[in-house]
Structure 1
Amino acid sequence: MNIVEGSYNVWIVALSILIAILASYSALSIAAKISQSSGRTRFIWLCAGAVVMGNGVWSMHFVGMLAFHLHATVSYDIGLTLLSMGASVISSFIAFRITMPKETKGVHLAIGGFFMAVGIVSMHYIGMEAMMMPMELTYDPVLWALSAVIAFVAAYAALFLFLQFRSRPTSSLWKWLSAVAMGIAICGMHYTGMKAAIFHGDAHMAMDHGTSHVNGFLLLGVSLTIFIMLFVSWGAMFFDRHVLERMAYRDTITGLPNRNEMNRFFDTYAGKESMSVLFLDLDQFKAINDTLGHHVGDLLVQQVGHRLQRFAGGDLEVFRIGGDEFLIIGKCCDQKQAEELAARLLQEIKQVYHIDGHELYVTGSIGISTGSIQEADRSILLKTADTAMYKAKGLGKNQYCVYTDEMGVQEVRKMELEKDLQRALEHNEFYMEYQPKWNVKTNQLYGFEALIRWHHPRLGIVPPGEFIPIAEETGLIIPITRWTLEQACRECKAWQDRGMAQPVSVNLSVRMFQTDTLVEYLTSVLKKTELGPQYLELEITESMVIYDIQEIVRQLDIIRRMGVRVSMDDFGTGYSSIGLLDRIPIDALKLDRLFTHDLETPSKRAIVHAIVLMAENLKLDVIAEGVENQEHIAFLTELGCHVMQGYFYGRPMKDDKITEWLQGFAQEGLGRPKEG
């Protein structure tokens, strides 16, 4: 038996190298999808990466085998050939699965590289065993060991590059260079392994067969299969990037990146420098949606998105994260630059919009948070920007606000109050105070306004202006209002039993009308407390007119027919309802304190006088709030307003102080009562 020398077809060798490079590039591209996906999608991309990598290595090996000429008839065992392919794919899957977590440690790389290297070596030498030929096969131990070493180096290099490029979803020159390096390393292992192979056969065998030829049909079939596999994988990448990715990562209305893309941005952003996050919310969006319809609302959001798109590019990223909320991220952007950007954004947003024949003027509120995601979790940056945005709204809207530590303290307090509101009713932490209303024309008590107070066990007295908005947001305002109504009616009935028959007014939230049980509840409360309906007055606000005005009018009609009075609180400070006053069934208007505190100006007196005249024509009483001195009384009386409420007549007081307050009034006779 002699050693039979083989030869290589140079063109087929080049083809095998090209296959290795293309397979490596495809695997690196799919690597990005593995890290960016989750759940079932991640598993699918994991399998795809293993198939592309494993089949690519196997295909390169098989084509390399076809390039090798022994000048003898060679065929392949189908079972061993498929086994060699399975070893390559399975080892790639195990390696990718081990190194899939984002926080990959060195031990993961070591274990994954070991499995991939074992798979490559197994694939190669099982494939060699699949050769069926009239000669024996042995190996040079030194070259065999060298091929195994190259396999381990190639495996570790492949996984290292996999980890490096999985956070880069787009192709780049570096990815191609890495694919070339991986392809050459894999081919180096294969051809070193082939060099280690020693073929033993008869000397005259090669002469009998002459020069063998390459099985062209087999080579063409393998090559086509390989390229189809690669193009299918590239087609899947293209479809995912340009179709599925657009559906998943682009907002359908504005075309801007959506919340998913924002999350991916933070997941893949590797910069350590400071960035600024600007949280933008439109100010009048809900009113537009409710009055003009969601179609107009969508078109408005679309136009806003187009305006914001002009700012995107370079170091600025713009996202629509839901509803009328947008997020602008400035990389390498300090606080001063963020404030300048916010000012430009607000100026752009407030320009007029022409939508379906409507001329809309909309403003925005922006919260700014600056920091590094290396130093702070991204959720902190988003939360602080959101907090600053709500602060901007609270300051009057159409402005920006930069987050401060003081806001953080206020946010923590708000969260604590929201949590504690749940149990405040159960632990009887609420109590009532009553502020008197006085008729200066008759010099008689006109009634009391019921005001809820909260004595927090740790924080002390919490102002209504702080916990009422929280209750409105959470829906807890409904049980709180029900408690207030029942408590006020019960104590009003107690006044009557003590000989003081005075009405009491209670503020109502619009949410009470939305429950569609308000009339039924009022009926049960009046029956339970045995209070006559003429002694109860409900106060509503102007802002209710932006909701379902017809439904609110329907319920108010029923309430007034019951004998319960209705007044409109804070008139002149909310959404203008003058055009609806003849439709809304009410008995009185309450002028906000901003009118009272500025009565020395002729323009303000003219406005108040006009309101009083209008109320007289509509047969409505007018009640002025915030009366604190004799000058207020003189001005208001001159303008025709005779019912007043304010510190001049009495501060809000508990039920047990009302009798003392009345006794003080009796001792002084006509004039101002003493405060209890």
Structure 2
Amino acid sequence: MWLAAALPGAAQVGGLGSLLVSGWAAVACAGAARRHPATLRRFWTLLAATMGLAVLGQACWALRRLTGDELPYLPLVAAAFTAGIVTGTAALLSALTAPRSRVGRARIVLDGVIVGLALVPVGWVLLFRDLAPADLADPVRTLGLLYPVLDLVQLTVLVAVIGMTRPVWRPMTLIAGSLAARVVADTAYVALVARGDYVAGHLVDACWPVSYLLIVVATRYPPPPARPDPDDTTDAPLPPWWQVALPYLPVGGAIVAVVLVRQPTGQTPHLLFVCMMALLAALAVRQGLAATQNLRLVARLRRLAYTDQLTGLPNRLMFTRRLRQALRAEGPVAVLMLDLDGFKQVNDRFGHAAGDSLLTSLAARMRDAVAGDGVIARLGGDEFAVLVDGSPPVVPERLAERLLDALRPSDGEEHAGVHPSASIGIAQYGPQHASHTDLLRDADIAMYAAKEAGKSAYRVCTPQLREAAVSRAELIADLRRAVDEGQLHLEFQPIVDLATGAVRSAEALVRWRHPRLGLLSPARFLPLAEETGLIVQIDRWVIHEACRAAAAWRDRPAEATVAVNIAAAHLRRPDLIATVTAATAAAGLAPRMLTLELTESALIDGSEAVLERLRQLRELGIRISIDDFGTGYSSLSYLHRIPATELKIDRSFVARLDLDDDRAYATVEMVTRLAGAFDLSVVAEGVETERQHAAVAAIGCVHGQGYRYGRPGGLMQLNPARIRKIA
């Protein structure tokens, strides 16, 4: 207001105001450096140093004005302001959003230098074009043009540092406003000096204290909530075109300006010539840095494309590429396919973080075991592969043994489900392999054969295994059509009262009448159904058919029920309750007449949602039976949590009763007493002989199931009188 009104002493007021506000800004920045966390301390300290240099420059400026010099220009003032530009730029480069690499920082500084140098000819045209050559000889007039240029360098650096970070930290916006005010002040000052119109106390002098005041306001804001990583561009959006082109846009204007300011003699002023040479040098260095960054980016993308990020091993893409190269070399080639056994249990029980840690550890062991005899890669999940080639190649079987030895747990690692073993399949290149996909297919076939052999083993692919795999694939394809074409049917096996022989229940057992292979047992096709996800569709059909058949069972005793086995995959589905209620309602069967049999392995993987689903089924009246009890992860805690109504003793314990096995007898007796303590009924499975019948009856089992009482068959075989006679 004092300067606008042109009151007396305007020059002194302007100088004193700039001095006081710059000092205030220096103190405020020093206070922010103490208050803010260590990550921002360097930023505010350098800004405090910048404001301190501004205080020095303003003090010299004010001192000269007090002595009566209207156009103060001292080397000390120039040095102070120039040093302030350096420390201010260093402060911006230490901001949280600035690049951490030296190349990134150098690129940003060069962008600023290019913008600043490119605008020198433009400024020359706008400010000095109409001046006489004698006026241009005054260094105060010509060199003063560098002040706004340096301001623009800083402003460009600030724009690049902020980048695409959203939201922008408010102090950075205020600092940008401060730099813009300084650009206006220095540009207006140079223009006035060039025309000889500047006098101390001009209104433009108010722009400098405004610039410092914005810095003071910036120190009042708290630090950002989290530190962004400027070098992490995973989720960062692409920068707009103008930000990429920012350092190059003013270059065209600079070329035009140089043409316009050529002197009558055809020469270009020396200052412009030097600036253009410096601009060309900066552009060359900038392009060199860009080329270097591009090469590093290409190398990084190559690593990302061909490397597994978790284990550091080659990935599937790299393995396939190396395999193709090895096959083109026409040398001996072998592939080992590895799949970790039981790894899913680690993720389910301990979480994916524990699973990732285990994968990393096992990958390191396998890498050491392979050493220089092959290339190991992670194909995905818990599946790995090893490529063996070279001359002479290592024997694949020996390498498989080394891998199995490396995966065996050491002392202190024997925890259930924590340290899985591996199943390994081996395929050696031969005339039957038309491409790398055939070789990988054979290795995969052999790996599944190793799993079926008991896991923690290796198998070599043979013509017999290959033929069996083809048959297996054909059987899966046929199974997909079995339900729709009515090839499945149910057989029922009675569950009887051991004391009277009366039928108390019947278990529904699914069979497959294959059009080419004949009648197939569940053991032949249900594992395939579980692997392919068809088990849920088959389960639904079995539930509906069992309820319909039970409702039509004319000679059924009043309390007899029908039992249906439920797969673990179906148990985890939220639509299980809807399936069961729809089946009983459609058949007109009371819910209490249906029993769902669940294996222990299915229950052990159950979450709270699964347990709540079982509780809802019990509330509807559906009975819950734990099948094959004693063979899974038997635990008293699960009997407390699961709303079961029945335990079925596994046939493996009943079968040993014929051998006078005291442990088997004690096991059956213990389970019977345990069931009584939990108010659960007991069914002894697999009773086939008179001796087994007598033993389970003597122990106190109430119900029995097995060939002793009846083989699976149609409903007509569930004749209570016939079964009672047999009993």
Please say if residues 571 and 590 of structure 1, whose CA atoms lie closer than 8 Å, have aligned partners that are also in contact. yes
Q: CA deviation at 1:534?
A: 2.0
Aligned to 2:385: 327
Please say if residues 495 and 502 of structure 1, whose CA atoms lie closer than 8 Å, have aligned partners that are also in contact. no
Aligned to 2:642: 584
Does residue 471 of structure 2 align to residue 413 of structure 1?
Answer: yes
Aligned to 1:260: 317
Please, which moves more after superposition, 329-338 or 262-271? 329-338
Structure 2 CA distance for partners of 1:386 and 1:664, relative to 1, 3 Å: same
Aligned to 1:346: 404
Instruction: For 1:274 and 1:401, locate their aligned partners in 2 and report how far apart those are by CA, in whole Å.
Output: 19
Of Structure 1 and Structure 2, which has the larger fraction of its residues in strand? 1
Q: Secondary structure at the match of 1:574?
A: coil
Instruction: For 2:351 and 2:384, locate their aligned partners in 1 and report how far apart those are by CA, in whole Å.
Output: 21
Aligned to 1:514: 572
Q: Secondary structure at the match of 1:329?
A: strand
Does residue 302 of structure 2 align to residue 245 of structure 1?
Answer: yes
Please say if residues 275 and 333 of structure 1, whose CA atoms lie closer than 8 Å, have aligned partners that are also in contact. no
Q: Per-residue CA shift, 1:124-180, capped at 9, x if unaligned?
A: xxxxxxxxxxxxxxxxxxxxxxxxxxxxxxxxxxxxxxxxxxxxxxxxxxxxxxxxx
Q: Superposition pairs for residues 476-515 of structure 1, below 5 Å? A: 476-496=534-554, 502-515=560-573
Structure 2 CA distance for partners of 1:385 and 1:358, relative to 1, 3 Å: closer
Structure 2 CA distance for partners of 1:234 and 1:381, relative to 1, 3 Å: farther
Aligned to 1:611: 671
Q: Per-residue CA shift, 1:476-535, capped at 9, x if unaligned?
A: 222211111111111111114777763110001122233311212222221111111221
Structure 2 CA distance for partners of 1:227 and 1:276, relative to 1, 3 Å: farther
- From 680, 701, 713, the counterpart of 1:620: 680
Does residue 690 of structure 2 align to residue 633 of structure 1?
Answer: no
Aligned to 1:458: 516
Please say if residues 373 and 394 of structure 2, whose CA atoms lie closer than 8 Å, have aligned partners that are also in contact. no
Structure 2 CA distance for partners of 1:470 and 1:650, relative to 1, 3 Å: same
Instruction: For 1:359 and 1:541, locate their aligned partners in 2 and report how far apart those are by CA, in whole Å.
Output: 19
Instruction: For 1:508 and 1:592, locate their aligned partners in 2 and report how far apart those are by CA, in whole Å.
Output: 17
TM-score w.r.t. structure 2 length?
A: 0.57
Cα RMSD of the aligned pairs, angstroms, is 3.3
Q: CA deviation at 1:228?
A: 12
Structure 2 CA distance for partners of 1:606 and 1:341, relative to 1, 3 Å: farther
Instruction: For 1:333 and 1:646, locate their aligned partners in 2 and report how far apart those are by CA, in whole Å.
Output: 60
Please say if residues 290 and 546 of structure 1, whose CA atoms lie closer than 8 Å, have aligned partners that are also in contact. no
Structure 2 CA distance for partners of 1:332 and 1:418, relative to 1, 3 Å: same
Please say if residues 282 and 364 of structure 1, whose CA atoms lie closer than 8 Å, have aligned partners that are also in contact. yes
Instruction: For 2:432 and 2:706, locate their aligned partners in 1 and report how far apart those are by CA, in whole Å.
Output: 54
Q: CA deviation at 1:591?
A: 1.8
Structure 2 CA distance for partners of 1:374 and 1:635, relative to 1, 3 Å: closer
Instruction: For 1:525 and 1:374, locate their aligned partners in 2 and report how far apart those are by CA, in whole Å.
Output: 50
Q: CA deviation at 1:226?
A: 13
Please say if residues 276 and 334 of structure 1, whose CA atoms lie closer than 8 Å, have aligned partners that are also in contact. no
Q: CA deviation at 1:574?
A: 2.5
Q: Secondary structure at the match of 2:553?
A: helix
Q: CA deviation at 1:369?
A: 1.8
Aligned to 1:671: 726
- From 383, 386, 389, the counterpart of 2:441: 383
Aligned to 2:354: 296
Instruction: For 2:443 and 2:391, locate their aligned partners in 1 and report how far apart those are by CA, in whole Å.
Output: 15
Q: CA deviation at 1:422?
A: 2.2
Instruction: For 1:607 and 1:376, locate their aligned partners in 2 and report how far apart those are by CA, in whole Å.
Output: 56
Q: Secondary structure at the match of 1:626?
A: coil
Does residue 523 of structure 2 align to residue 523 of structure 1?
Answer: no
Structure 2 CA distance for partners of 1:238 and 1:554, relative to 1, 3 Å: closer
Q: Superposition pairs for residues 381-460 of structure 1, below 5 Å? A: 381-460=439-518
Please say if residues 596 and 623 of structure 2, whose CA atoms lie closer than 8 Å, have aligned partners that are also in contact. yes
Instruction: Give the unaligned 5+ runs of structure 1.
Output: 1-224
Aligned to 2:213: none
Aligned to 1:38: none
Q: Superposition pairs for residues 50-65 of structure 1, below 5 Å? A: none
Q: Superposition pairs for residues 28-107 of structure 1, below 5 Å? A: none
Structure 2 CA distance for partners of 1:391 and 1:641, relative to 1, 3 Å: farther
Structure 2 CA distance for partners of 1:339 and 1:574, relative to 1, 3 Å: farther
Does residue 608 of structure 2 align to residue 550 of structure 1?
Answer: yes
Structure 2 CA distance for partners of 1:353 and 1:513, relative to 1, 3 Å: farther
- From 599, 623, 633, the counterpart of 1:575: 633
Aligned to 1:650: 710
Structure 2 CA distance for partners of 1:443 and 1:657, relative to 1, 3 Å: closer
Q: Superposition pairs for residues 159-178 of structure 1, below 5 Å? A: none
Q: Residue type of the partner of 2:302?
A: E
Structure 2 CA distance for partners of 1:563 and 1:306, relative to 1, 3 Å: same
Instruction: For 2:378 and 2:699, locate their aligned partners in 1 and report how far apart those are by CA, in whole Å.
Output: 51
- From 463, 472, 496, the counterpart of 2:530: 472
Instruction: For 1:328 and 1:640, locate their aligned partners in 2 and report how far apart those are by CA, in whole Å.
Output: 56
Please, which moves more after superposition, 394-403 or 320-329? 394-403
Structure 2 CA distance for partners of 1:375 and 1:454, relative to 1, 3 Å: closer
Please say if residues 436 and 449 of structure 1, whose CA atoms lie closer than 8 Å, have aligned partners that are also in contact. yes
Q: Per-residue CA shift, 1:385-405, capped at 9, x if unaligned?
A: 212222222222222222222
Q: Residue type of the partner of 1:631?
A: R
Please say if residues 489 and 526 of structure 1, whose CA atoms lie closer than 8 Å, have aligned partners that are also in contact. yes
Structure 2 CA distance for partners of 1:327 and 1:342, relative to 1, 3 Å: same
Instruction: Give the unaligned 5+ runs of structure 2.
Output: 1-282
Please say if residues 273 and 372 of structure 1, whose CA atoms lie closer than 8 Å, have aligned partners that are also in contact. no
- From 590, 593, 618, the counterpart of 1:560: 618
Instruction: For 2:589 and 2:554, locate their aligned partners in 1 and report how far apart those are by CA, in whole Å.
Output: 9
Instruction: For 1:444 and 1:331, locate their aligned partners in 2 and report how far apart those are by CA, in whole Å.
Output: 68
Please say if residues 488 and 513 of structure 2, whose CA atoms lie closer than 8 Å, have aligned partners that are also in contact. yes
How many residues align? The count is 445
Q: Residue type of the partner of 1:671?
A: I
Q: Superposition pairs for residues 173-322 of structure 1, below 5 Å? A: 239-241=297-299, 243-269=300-326, 270-322=328-380
Instruction: For 1:335 and 1:655, locate their aligned partners in 2 and report how far apart those are by CA, in whole Å.
Output: 63
Q: CA deviation at 1:358?
A: 11
Instruction: For 1:318 and 1:302, locate their aligned partners in 2 and report how far apart those are by CA, in whole Å.
Output: 13
Instruction: For 2:518 and 2:432, locate their aligned partners in 1 and report how far apart those are by CA, in whole Å.
Output: 39
Aligned to 1:192: none
Please say if residues 623 and 644 of structure 1, whose CA atoms lie closer than 8 Å, have aligned partners that are also in contact. yes
Q: Secondary structure at the match of 1:279?
A: strand
Structure 2 CA distance for partners of 1:635 and 1:359, relative to 1, 3 Å: closer
Structure 2 CA distance for partners of 1:647 and 1:658, relative to 1, 3 Å: same
TM-score w.r.t. structure 1 length?
A: 0.61
Structure 2 CA distance for partners of 1:458 and 1:359, relative to 1, 3 Å: closer
Q: Secondary structure at the match of 1:598?
A: helix
Q: Greater Rg, structure 1 or structure 2?
A: 2
Aligned to 2:231: none
Structure 2 CA distance for partners of 1:265 and 1:351, relative to 1, 3 Å: same
Q: CA deviation at 1:324?
A: 0.7
Please say if residues 440 and 642 of structure 1, whose CA atoms lie closer than 8 Å, have aligned partners that are also in contact. yes
